[in-house]
Amino acid sequence: MEATKSPVKKDEEQENEKEEAKAQVEIWNCVFGFVKMAAVKCAIELGIAEAIENNGCPMTLSELSTALNCSPSNLQRVMRFLVHYQIFKEKPTSQNSIAFEQTPLSRRLLKQGNNSMAAFILLESSPVMLAPWHCLSGRVLANGSSAFDSAHGKDVWAYAAADSAHSKLINDAMACNARVAVPALIESCPEVFDGIGRLVDVGGGNGTALKLLVKSFPWMKGINFDLPHVVCDNERCNGVEQVGGDMFQSVPMADAAFFMQVLHDWDDDECIQILKNCRKVIPQDKGKVIIVETIIEAEERDDKFEFVRLMLDMAMMAHTSKGKERSLKEWEYVLRQAGFSRYSVKPIHAVQSVIEAFP
C-alpha cells in the first residue's frame, strides 16, 4: 500500500514544480537578454520615436516605413517586438488597421529632450562598451585584470582621450544622465545649495549638470572642472568657467565641490585622495562636498531602482579598473578617511542619492 504524502511534502513538491516552470521560462531571458537592448538601439538609430512624435499622431506601418525608408516587413517585426515590451503601443484606426503611438517610455528614446536616455543607450550598446562584458570573468578572478583593459589594451579614460568619437559618446551619455538626475536633485533638496557662492563640478564633462544648477540658483557661480581634452571644446555658458586639470593633483578653490557619478569610477584610495584635495580648497567653517551617487544597501528594501543600482555595479566592474557602487557603510569609510567629520544622506526621485560631507 502506497504511503500517503504529508502536507509538508506536497507543498515542497508543488513549490519545486513552480520553480522548475519559472526556470524553464527565465533561462530564455538569459539566452537572449541582449535582444531588448539591440532592438531599442535599432529604434533609436532609425528614429522611430522622432517620426511618430513629429507626425503628431499615431502612424500606420505603411506611413512609418515610408517616413523612415524602411522595409515594411522587417520594420513590422521590430515594432511587434517593441510593442510586446510596451515601448510603443498599437492603436486601431478607422480603416481597420493598426497604428503605432508613443508611450512615456518611447519618448525617452527621442534623441533630444529633458527625459531622453538615447545617448546613454547608444554608449552602453556601442561595440567599445559591449566588448569588456566578454572579459568580466577575468576581472572576478583573484589575479584577474580589468575587463576593459583586456578588451582594448588600455583603460576607458585613455581610450576616450585617444578616440574623440567615443569621448563624445561618453560626454553625451553623462549629459543625458544629468538632465534626468539634476532636476530630481533640485526638486527634492534645493536647500543643499543654500549659501554657496562658488561651486566646482569635479569631473563635470560637458558641463550640463552645472548649467542646470547655475540656472536654477542664479546667485551661484560655477567651475566646470575636467581633463583638458574634455573641457577644451565645451560650449561657453554665463556663470560657468571651464577649467582643465587633474583631480588627483588638485581641485579649483570653491565654497563647495560637486560630484555626480564620478567617484564610483575609482577605488577607495583614489576616492580618498580626490576628496582630500577637495577638503583642502573648501572653507573649513562652511564648506562641503556634495556627492550625487548610487548607494547600494545591504538589506532588502522596497525600492524600484535597486535593480538598476545592482546593474550599475556590474557595469563598473566591466568598464572601470577598480570602480564600484558603494553601500552607505563603504561611503562612510571613504569620507572618514578623507578627513570629513560628518555627513548626511538625502534620497531623491532618481537612481542616485545625495551625500553632503562637511570638514
For residue 102, the number of C-alpha atoms closer than 13 Å in the C-beta half-sphere is: 17
Report the alpha-carbon angle 67-71-74, nearest 5.
Answer: 120
Within 10 angstroms of residue 169's Cβ, the number of other Cβ atoms is 20
Whether residue 293 lies in the annotated active site: yes
Supply the DSSP symbol for 135.
G
9 vs 27: CA distance, rounded Å: 27
Catalytic residue of the set 50, 124, 325, 356: 325
- SS3 of 58-110: the string is CEEHHHHHHHHCCCHHHHHHHHHHHHHCCCCEEEECCCCCEEEECCCCHHHHC
Cell of 339: 578627513
Whether residue 90 lies in the annotated active site: no
Catalytic residue of the set 124, 264, 319, 356: 264
| Whether the Cβ atoms of residue 62 and residue 98 lie closer than 8 Å to each other | no
Catalytic residue of the set 50, 124, 293, 356: 293
Whether residue 2 lies in the annotated active site: no
Q: Which residues are catalytic?
A: 264, 293, 325
